[in-house]
C-alpha cells in the first residue's frame, strides 16, 4: 500500500517535470516510426493521423508527423510521402488449405468452357504416369448447376488416369470414367445421405457428384501428409499477406490442420494471424477441445476458440434449406444438414466451455433454425457476450432480421457471394424472399454486427474486390447499372469496418485488433492509392504496397 502511494506520487512528479521541461516529452527509441502518412485509423476517437510509433509487435502511439519526430528523435523515421495506411484486413471467413491446395492442383477457375477444361486436363496426362490421379479445382458448380457437364468428353481425353475436379465452392465434384470405376460408382450405387450421384436418363452416373456424394471418390484420393498440409497453408498465408490480409478466420478445420497451424506458428512460417473454427462434425475432435477449453497464444498468432457447424448447403445447387419450395423448382425446399437439436446441444456445451459457435446457414429455414437453437442455448446457459455467429446469413426471412441484434448473433457475410449469385439468385427464391437476401444494409440498420469476408478460395481473396462489391453490388464490369438492389449497398466506412473492427469483434479480439490505436497490435497496410478518394473502378486496382503484421514487414510489392 505504502509503496504504491510512493509510485503514484513519483508518476505525478515525473509528469509535472516533463510538462514543465518541454511541450513534447522525448521518448526512448522504438522499433518503427512511420511518419508523413495518411492514416485511416478506424478508431472513431481519432479517425485520421499521420504517424505511428511501434515498439515490439504493438502500436505505442498515434499522432501527427511533427510531434512524432520530436518524441522519437532517436529513431530514424520511415517517411511514407503521404501514402495511405489502413489497419490490416481481417478476413472473417476463409479456407487456407484448399487455397494452398488449389495453388498446387490444376486451376480451372478462369477457364470459360467444358472443352477448355477437358483440354487443360488432357495436357496434364503428358507428364502424369498412367493410373495416377489428376486433380483440378475451380469449375463453377453454382453457375453450371442448370446444365452440368458430364464425364463423356473428359473420359475420352483421359482414358488412363483417374480425374477428379472439385467445384469452386466445394459443393460438387466432376469425375471421369476411371475415377468412377476406382470408386466403384455404377448405376446400382445408391445416393449417400445428403448427396447425389447425378444420373442421365438411363440411370447411369454422369460423373457429377454433389455434396456428400463427393466423398465416394474423395476417400480414394491419396491423403495429404502433415508436411504437405503445412506447405499448402504456408503458401496460402503468403498469398494472404500479398493481398493485405493480416488475420483470417478459418471456417472449418480438422485435426491435422490444427497441428499444422501450431507447428507453422512455432516455426515462424505463417505470415498472418489465424483464428480457428473447429470442425463440429468431427465429434471426437470437438469433445477433446470442449474438454480442454480455448487456446490463445500470447502473441495472438493462433486462436482456437470457435466451433463450426453446417445447417444447410448452397443456394446455387438448391441445397440451401428454405421455408417454402424453391421458386424455380417447386419439388424441393433444399436440405437441413444438422438438426436444430444438435445445433442447440453443441452450442450449449460450447458456451459452457467458453467457445463461440459459427454455423453455416444460407436458406431462410436454416437461418431460423439456427437462431432458434442459439436462442435456447443462450437462455439456458445465461451466457453473456457469447458472439455466436451465422456464416453467410444469405436468405433471411424479414421477420427474423431483428433477432440477430436482439440475440447478439453476428451476421458474417460475403460481399462477393452477392455479386456472384445476383444473376440467378432471384430465380431461386422469387421477388418476395429476395428482399431478405444478401441484405447487408437491412441487417446493419437492425443493429446486427456485420463482419465481412471473402470465403476464399470460392471467391477471390482480394479484399479490395470485396469492398468494391460491397460499395457497388456490381460485377467488375460495372453491371448491372446502378447496382443490384442498390438499397443494400454499404458505404466505404461500413465496408472497411466490416473488414477490420467488426471482423475483430467477431473473433473476440477487438481489444487487440481492428483499428490503429495505442496498445493494439501493429497490423497495417500501406496502400497504392488513397482508399478514401478512389472511384469504385480504381478500387479494383488498389493493392497493398506493404503489409505489416505485428510491426514486421511480411509483404512488400516490387517497385
Query: Applying CB under 5 A, which residues contact Zn ion?
Result: 251, 455
Min CB(418)–Zn ion separation in Å:
15
Min CB(180)–Zn ion separation in Å:
27
Min CB(169)–Zn ion separation in Å:
8
Q: Which is nearer to Zn ion, 453 or 472 (CB)?
A: 453
Min CB(455)–Zn ion separation in Å:
4
Alpha carbons 421 and 373: distance in angstroms, whole number: 28
Q: Which is nearer to Zn ion, 308 or 333 (CB)?
A: 308
Min CB(279)–Zn ion separation in Å:
12
Angle at 201 between CA 200 and CA 207, to 5 degrees: 5
Half-sphere exposure of 453 (CA within 13 A, CB side): 30
**325 φ, ψ (degrees, to nearest 5):** -55, 160
Q: Which is nearer to Zn ion, 311 or 521 (CB)?
A: 311
Q: Which is nearer to Zn ion, 313 or 551 (CB)?
A: 313
Alpha carbons 139 and 148: distance in angstroms, whole number: 10
Q: Which is nearer to Zn ion, 251 or 503 (CB)?
A: 251
Q: Which is nearer to Zn ion, 171 or 326 (CB)?
A: 171
Contacts of 46 (CB under 8 A, 6+ apart): 62, 517
Distance, first Cα to last Cα, the chain = 58
For the CA atoms of the chain, what is the radius of gyration? Answer: 25
* Of 488, 491, 471, the residue nearest 537 (C-alpha): 471
User: Grid coordinates standing for 126?
Assistant: 503428358
Min CB(95)–Zn ion separation in Å:
6
Contacts of 31 (CB under 8 A, 6+ apart): 54, 55, 56, 551
Q: Which is nearer to Zn ion, 71 or 249 (CB)?
A: 249
B/e letters for 212-225, b = 16+ CB within 10 Å, e = fewer, are bbbebbeeeeeebe
Q: Which is nearer to Zn ion, 97 or 216 (CB)?
A: 97
- Answer yes or no: are the C-beta atoms of 283 and 126 closer than 8 Å: no
* Of 507, 265, 309, the residue nearest 410 (C-alpha): 507
Min CB(76)–Zn ion separation in Å:
44
Neighbours of 116 (CB within 10 A): 13
Q: Quick one: how far is CA 549 from the chain centroid?
A: 18
Neighbours of 504 (CB within 10 A): 28
Alpha carbons 326 and 330: distance in angstroms, whole number: 5
Min CB(227)–Zn ion separation in Å:
25
Min CB(249)–Zn ion separation in Å:
10
Q: Which is nearer to Zn ion, 251 or 357 (CB)?
A: 251
Alpha carbons 197 and 211: distance in angstroms, whole number: 9
Q: Which is nearer to Zn ion, 311 or 516 (CB)?
A: 311
- Answer yes or no: are the C-beta atoms of 325 and 297 closer than 8 Å: no
User: Grid coordinates standing for 47?
Assistant: 479517425
Min CB(94)–Zn ion separation in Å:
8
Amino acid at each position: 500500500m505504502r509503496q504504491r502511494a510512493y509510485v503514484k506520487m513519483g508518476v505525478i512528479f515525473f509528469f509535472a517535470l516533463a510538462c514543465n521541461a518541454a511541450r513534447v516529452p522525448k521518448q526512448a527509441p522504438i522499433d518503427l516510426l512511420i511518419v508523413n502518412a495518411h492514416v485511416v485509423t478506424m478508431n472513431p476517437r481519432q479517425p485520421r493521423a499521420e504517424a505511428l510509433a511501434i515498439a515490439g509487435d504493438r502500436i505505442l502511439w498515434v499522432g501527427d508527423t511533427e510531434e512524432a519526430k520530436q518524441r522519437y528523435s532517436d529513431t530514424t523515421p520511415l517517411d511514407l510521402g503521404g501514402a495511405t495506411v489502413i489497419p490490416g484486413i481481417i478476413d472473417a471467413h476463409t479456407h487456407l488449405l484448399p487455397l494452398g491446395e488449389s495453388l498446387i492442383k490444376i486451376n480451372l477457375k478462369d477457364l470459360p468452357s467444358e472443352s477448355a477444361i477437358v483440354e487443360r486436363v488432357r495436357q496434364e496426362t503428358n507428364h502424369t504416369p498412367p493410373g495416377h490421379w489428376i486433380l483440378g479445382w475451380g469449375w463453377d458448380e453454382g453457375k453450371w448447376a442448370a446444365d452440368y457437364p458430364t464425364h463423356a468428353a473428359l473420359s475420352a481425353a483421359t482414358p488412363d488416369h483417374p480425374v477428379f475436379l472439385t467445384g469452386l465452392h466445394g459443393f460438387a465434384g466432376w469425375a471421369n470414367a476411371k475415377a468412377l470405376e476406382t470408386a466403384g460408382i455404377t448405376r446400382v450405387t445408391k445416393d449417400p445421405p445428403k448427396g447425389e450421384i447425378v444420373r442421365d436418363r438411363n440411370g447411369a452416373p454422369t460423373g457429377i457428384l454433389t455434396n456428400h456424394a463427393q466423398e465416394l471418390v474423395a476417400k480414394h484420393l491419396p491423403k495429404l501428409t502433415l508436411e504437405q498440409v503445412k506447405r499448402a497453408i504456408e503458401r496460402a498465408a503468403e498469398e494472404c499477406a500479398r493481398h493485405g490480409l493480416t488475420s483470417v478466420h478459418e471456417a472449418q478445420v480438422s485435426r491435422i490442420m490444427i497441428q499444422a497451424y501450431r507447428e507453422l506458428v512455432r516455426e515462424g512460417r505463417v505470415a498472418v494471424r489465424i483464428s480457428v473454427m473447429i470442425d463440429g462434425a468431427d465429434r471426437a475432435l470437438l469433445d477433446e477441445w470442449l474438454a480442454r477449453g480455448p487456446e490463445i497464444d500470447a502473441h495472438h498468432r493462433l486462436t482456437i476458440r470457435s466451433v463450426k457447424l453446417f445447417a444447410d448447403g448452397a443456394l446455387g445447387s438448391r441445397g440451401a434449406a428454405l421455408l417454402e419450395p424453391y421458386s424455380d423448382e417447386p419439388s424441393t425446399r433444399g436440405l437441413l444438414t444438422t438438426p436444430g437439436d444438435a445445433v442447440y446441444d453443441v452450442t450449449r456445451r460450447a458456451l459452457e466451455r467458453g467457445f463461440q459457435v459459427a454455423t453455416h446457414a444460407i436458406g431462410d429455414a436454416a437461418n431460423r433454425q439456427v437462431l432458434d437453437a442459439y436462442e435456447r442455448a443462450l437462455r439456458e446457459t445465461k451466457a453473456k457476450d457469447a458472439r455466436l455467429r451465422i456464416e453467410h446469413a444469405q436468405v433471411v426471412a424479414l421477420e427474423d432480421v431483428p433477432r440477430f441484434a436482439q440475440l447478439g448473433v453476428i451476421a458474417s457475410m460475403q460481399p462477393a457471394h452477392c455479386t456472384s449469385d445476383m444473376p440467378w439468385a432471384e430465380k431461386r427464391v422469387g421477388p418476395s424472399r429476395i428482399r431478405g437476401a444478401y441484405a447487408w444494409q437491412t441487417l446493419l440498420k437492425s443493429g446486427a454486427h456485420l463482419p465481412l469476408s471473402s470465403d476464399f478460395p470460392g471467391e477471390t481473396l482480394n479484399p479490395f474486390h470485396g469492398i468494391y462489391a460491397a460499395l457497388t453490388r456490381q460485377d467488375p464490369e460495372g453491371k448491372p447499372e446502378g447496382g443490384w438492389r442498390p438499397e443494400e449497398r454499404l458505404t466505404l466506412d461500413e465496408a472497411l469496418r466490416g473488414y477490420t473492427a467488426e471482423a475483430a469483434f467477431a473473433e473476440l479480439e477487438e481489444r487487440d485488433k481492428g483499428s490503429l490505436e495505442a496498445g493494439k497490435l501493429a497490423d497495417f497496410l500501406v496502400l497504392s492509392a488513397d482508399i478514401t478518394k478512389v472511384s469504385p473502378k480504381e478500387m479494383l486496382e488498389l493493392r497493398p504496397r506493404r503489409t505489416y503484421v505485428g510491426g514486421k514487414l511480411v509483404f512488400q510489392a516490387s517497385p
